[in-house]
Amino acid sequence: MKTAIIFARSFSGNDQKRMGRGALVACCCVIAFTLCTLVYGPLPAASPAAVKLVQSIPAADLKILQSREEISQPNIWPAGGLNDKLQPAIIRNLSSRRSQVYELNGDVRIHGRRPSTIFLFSGDMATTATAGWITTKPYARNPDPIAMRKVTGLKLIIHAQSGPDAAELRCSRNFSLPAIVFSSGGYAGNPFHDFSDVLIPLFLTAQQFNREVVFLVADRRPWWTNKYKLILEKLSAYDVVDMAAAAAAEEVMCFPRMIVGLRAHKELSLDPSEPPHYSARDLTDFLRSTYSLHRQELVVPPGPGGCTRRPRLLIVSRKKTRRLMNAGEVAEQARRLGFEAVVSEMEGRVSGVARLVNAFDVMVGVHGAGLTNMLFLPANAVVIQIVPIRVEILARHYFRGPAEDMGLRYMEYRVRPSESSLPAPSSEQSRSKLDGGDGAAGAGAGAGGWHGFRAIYLDAQDIRLDAARFRETVLSRALEHVCGGGG
């Protein structure tokens, strides 16, 4: 009663009537909401990316996005930070476990003086509004802090089209084409990472544009873009833009659409069930076309006593770590079995390496970056991975799965302690220290961690195969596959 008296003294009669009607409407809304919740279940939670868009997105928060290739609410904007009238489709979050990817649609501008900042303008915002920002690194190895430290961070800022920044950033170079922004930093220079972290994700992201797309490269190294010039030209009909070098020209480049970052599925391969639904075989077809490789598929017609020609076997040589110390002896055993065997390093121009590899039916190599060149083998050819001690998980993850995705016949030879350069006693002690005695190859879960594991099993381990055993257990099966018509 006391409350009612205070309420009556505080407001006029008309005010009380309006507030009564408002309370009635609010009550109806609550009842409707309750009924909807009972019938359809609770409303979905806001996207974590949406909630944190006005801040830099730390790696820990990105783990929330890593459960699927596209988040459930791909059109995102910051809660409480972006004008409600702004078209939500101007930003789509395509981030995955391996990479941060944002698609910007509309008025996208980059100023040469600020190459690490990308502006997205909207005419539906208030004159001076800054809706929010995202910080990202456009390199597809997001869970690896060592690689990501070598990648330039970019800031994506949403601005009003009529604000002061829009006046400063008047377009001096207009593009009618979309753009893709990526970094060639990270582990660039290692063939495995060149393909797994950049070139395959670039194929996955850019192929849909049929070369009508402009590449903007952060952390550009001229030798890197020259090395992979043919691939870049096959994916884009336009010159690569060095984002740092563009600062000298002080141009304001404007695009109608931009993808910042590269979509990535898995190591050295693609998942056709995920957008945009390209497969590893689409990739290898693309590479064979890019480098004008003549052998598309393994064809060695079998004769009455075997192959009508000697099948060709390539042994990949390594100079520094995980060396195959008796490669010559292994090659000789292969020749006795019926192969034409060659030992070669994977050096020189990519086009030359591609033609070399494509000419062989079987490729043999110790686990390492040289096996990346299996991308150039003809379909149905054989890949034999020599797996050093305690490297089984890495071998399966990095090369076995991709080889099978590419339509290659995968075989492996697991090294015995007697074939490893690691002394048996220290090897056993190291295993116990590094992986806690659980035998998890490559786990690096113990006190030594990944760096300790790598120092022992990857950097300090060379291989001397039992050539006769290798011939009987693996090479003979490879010959049977090749001379049996690839069955």
Is 330 part of a structural domain of the chain?
yes
Alpha helices in 377-448 (DSSP H): 392-395, 401-405, 424-435
Cβ-based neighbours of 382, under 8 Å, separated by 6 or more: 361, 362, 363, 408, 409, 410, 411, 478, 481, 482
Total of domains in the chain: 2
Any domain includes 30:
no
Q: Is residue 211 part of a domain?
A: yes
* Burial (CB count within 10 angstroms: exposed 0-12, middle 13-18, buried 19+), residue 103: buried
| C-alpha Rg value of the chain to the nearest Å | 29
SS3 at position 320: coil
Q: Per residue of the chain (487 residues), what is the pLDDT tens digit? A: 433 333 333 334 444 444 455 545 444 544 444 443 333 333 333 333 332 332 332 333 223 223 223 332 333 444 334 444 444 468 899 999 999 999 999 999 998 777 789 999 876 655 455 567 899 999 999 999 999 999 999 999 988 776 677 778 889 899 999 999 999 999 999 999 999 999 999 999 999 999 999 999 999 999 999 999 999 999 999 999 999 887 767 889 999 999 999 999 999 999 999 999 999 999 999 999 999 999 999 987 776 667 888 999 999 999 999 999 999 999 999 999 999 999 999 999 999 999 999 999 999 999 999 999 999 999 999 999 999 999 999 999 999 999 999 999 999 999 999 999 998 755 555 555 544 444 444 444 445 788 899 999 999 999 999 999 999 999 999 999 999 866 5
Are both 321 and 223 inside the same structural domain? Answer: no
As a whole number of angstroms, the distance between CA 243 and CA 235 comes to 19
Contact criterion met (CB below 8 Å) for 84 and 124: no
Whole-angstrom distance, CA of residue 199 vs CA of residue 78:
32
Residue type, 250: E
Specify whether the backbone of 93 is left (phi greater than 0), alpha (psi in -120 to 50) or beta. Answer: beta
Same domain for 119 and 201, yes or no, is yes
372 and 228 assigned to the same domain: no
Pair 234, 312 in one domain: no
Q: Are residues 172 and 136 in the same domain?
A: yes
Q: Which residue has the tokens 């990501």?
A: 148
> Which of 261, 277, 293 is the endpoint of a domain?
277
Q: Do 266 and 135 reside in the same domain of the chain?
A: yes
Residue 164 lies in a domain: yes
Other Cβ atoms within 10 Å of 44 Cβ, number: 8
Strands 102-111 and 91-93: antiparallel
Q: Are residues 357 and 320 in the same domain?
A: yes
| CATH number of the domain where residue 320 is located | 3.40.50.2300
Q: Give residue 204's Cα distance to chain centre.
A: 9
Alpha-carbon distances, residue 180 vs 207, 215, 238, 343, 368 (angstroms)? 11, 5, 12, 39, 30
78 in Cβ contact with 54 (< 8 Å): yes
Residues 409 and 320 in one domain: yes
**pLDDT computed for residue 418 by the predictor:** 97
Rounded to an integer, what distance in angstroms lies between the CA atom of residue 195 and that of residue 192?
Answer: 6
In three-state secondary structure terms, 469 is helix
Q: pLDDT at position 112, please?
A: 76
pLDDT value at residue 405: 98
Statement to judge: residues 126 and 223 lie in one domain: yes
Residue type, 323: R
Domain that holds residue 177: 49-277
User: Could you tell me if residue 33 is inside a domain?
Assistant: no
Which of 225, 244, 277 is at the close of a domain?
A: 277
User: Is the same domain home to 196 and 147?
Assistant: yes
Beta bridge partners of 109: 119, 254
Residue 288 falls inside a structural domain: no
- Asked if 146 and 186 touch (Cβ cutoff 8 Å), the reply is no
The residue out of 213, 242, 277 marking a domain boundary is 277
What SS3 string covers 80-145? Answer: CCCCCCCCHHHEEECCCCCCCCEEEEEEEEEECCCCCEEEEEECCCCCCCEEEEEEECCCCCCCCH
In a domain, 35, yes or no: no
Same domain, 182 and 53: yes
Query: Which residue's entry shows tokens 């170079």?
Result: 173
Whether residue 96 is found in the same domain as residue 165: yes
| Structural domain contains residue 94 | yes
